[in-house]
Structure 1
Amino acid sequence: MKLRYAGNTHVGMKRTHNEDNLLILQEENLYMVADGMGGHASGEVASEMAISTVAEFFKETSADDDVTWPYKMEKGRRYEENRLAAGIKLANLRIFETASQNASQRGMGTTIVAINFSGNSAYLGHVGDSRIYRLRGDKMELVTEDHSLLNDYIKMKDLTEQEIENFPHKNVIVRALGMKETVQVDVAHEEPQIGDIYLLCTDGLNGMVKDSDIERIMVENRTNLEAGCEKLIEAANAGGGTDNCTVILVEVIEK
């Protein structure tokens, strides 16, 4: 599968430091975005630890088929899904243990979204409220589900648009790396089409920019992914820029 990609991150208009991290591991067709939390630079440590651990696990398992995995494969999941989930679980454990051993980093954590292209498939893994969208033609679709208190309420109750807008705890996430010793990782796979563009982003984007505007910017900049990343971040900052904003765009150009 031949891919085209670009990524960018910005501290935003209100924060003094950037707790987001992104990583593009070209040789593994692996793309990741993480949104750290914990303050005092701990969030930045957690998000960097998350993506570097997953990247390291992918390199090790690619170089040596016999390497011992830290977790058993789950039945019913494909090899690639188990591989992605295992890497993210390992990242969770490392963050949890580091935070437990260092008082200054206690309570740090991070979200993560990752997509790995292998064969003719795309494998998606995530924990938290960072997102993956897919643009197919001129239609954008959210292909991950937020692990947030707001999303739990939306599923339990039929909230109106105004109730969603006025929800008082929008930033509360119910699942993240580093919160507990173990974590449940959502994984999925799909068959991309040529021309599909995947967007990985932290909530610094979708919290500031409506999905309809994200879709419009992606459509308008489909031929220039670098410009698309810049325009998405500009829109987030124009919308208030209250959080760090990180984006990766990946286009499937050949299968």
Structure 2
Amino acid sequence: MIKVTSSARTDPGKKRKNNEDAFLLDDQHGLYAAADGIGGHEGGEIASRITVDTLAEVMPGLLRGDDVTPPFSLSLDVDPRISALRYAITLSNQKILQTAAQNPDLAGMGTTISALILWRETASIAHVGDSRAYLLREGELRQLTSDHSFVAEQIRAGKLTPEQAR
């Protein structure tokens, strides 16, 4: 049995006045997420809130097996919990695009997301962007995800060193 202790806190940092972070802690369903609105665009805090609210709204039903029709076919060779996360993140993206289309001031808004679902002794992660997932075990911190960013792609391709990217 996995023992989980969850907590979350956000901080806008030193460069920004507003906090564009949102998080979800759902111990009952083993669902956790952190979203960071994309800086430099209007509505980052709205996009991150839409994303975690969508996960909180649809994931419990998907995990219970309620009848939900996703916008794509669920793959039979993929764990249903991963398919559910994919569906919820895709749905949140659709809601973000719809919200931006209805309000031109929010054009270009977006967010990163790292979501984790625990089931028995398995953890599944879905993420988009550069919000990272880490594992803390026995005092050791290990990064589990790779950033989805131009700079990270340049490092992976060998065009930049990590030192040059800083």
User: Aligned partners of 2:76 and 2:65: how far apart in 1?
Assistant: 22
Larger relative contact order (Cα-Cα within 8 Å, sequence gap ≥ 6)? 1
Q: CA-to-partner distance for each residue in 1:210-244, whole Å, 9 max, x for gaps?
A: xxxxxxxxxxxxxxxxxxxxxxxxxxxxxxxxxxx
Asked if residue 65 in structure 1 is aligned to residue 66 in structure 2, the reply is yes
Maintained 8 Å contact 1:113/1:126: yes
Maintained 8 Å contact 2:155/2:162: no
Report how far residue 139 of structure 1 moved: 3.1
Asked if residue 100 in structure 1 is aligned to residue 101 in structure 2, the reply is yes
User: Aligned partners of 1:67 and 1:149: how far apart in 2?
Assistant: 35
5 Å matches for 1:1-255?
1-37=2-38, 42-157=43-158, 159-165=160-166
Provide the aligned C-alpha RMSD in A: 1.9
User: Aligned partners of 1:161 and 1:124: how far apart in 2?
Assistant: 24
In structure 2, what residue type is equivalent to 1:47? S
Q: Which runs of 4+ in 1 moved over 4 A?
A: 38-41
User: Aligned partners of 1:159 and 1:42: how far apart in 2?
Assistant: 31
User: Aligned partners of 1:34 and 1:118: how far apart in 2?
Assistant: 21
In structure 2, what residue type is equivalent to 1:26? D
Q: CA-to-partner distance for each residue in 1:96-145, whole Å, 9 max, x for gaps?
A: 12112210111100000010101221010100000001123343221111
Report how far residue 16 of structure 1 moved: 1.3
Task: Identify the structure with the greater strand proportion.
Answer: 1
In structure 2, what residue type is equivalent to 1:12? G
Identity among equivalent positions (%) equals 38
TM-aligned CA distance change 1:162 to 1:65, over 3 Å: closer
User: Aligned partners of 2:110 and 2:38: how far apart in 1?
Assistant: 5
Match of 1:205 in 2: none
User: Aligned partners of 2:46 and 2:76: how far apart in 1?
Assistant: 33
1:27 counterpart SS class:
coil
In structure 1, what residue type is equivalent to 2:132? R
Match of 1:173 in 2: none
Listed as ranges, the gaps of 5+ residues in structure 2 are none
User: Aligned partners of 1:84 and 1:57: how far apart in 2?
Assistant: 9
Report how far residue 14 of structure 1 moved: 2.8
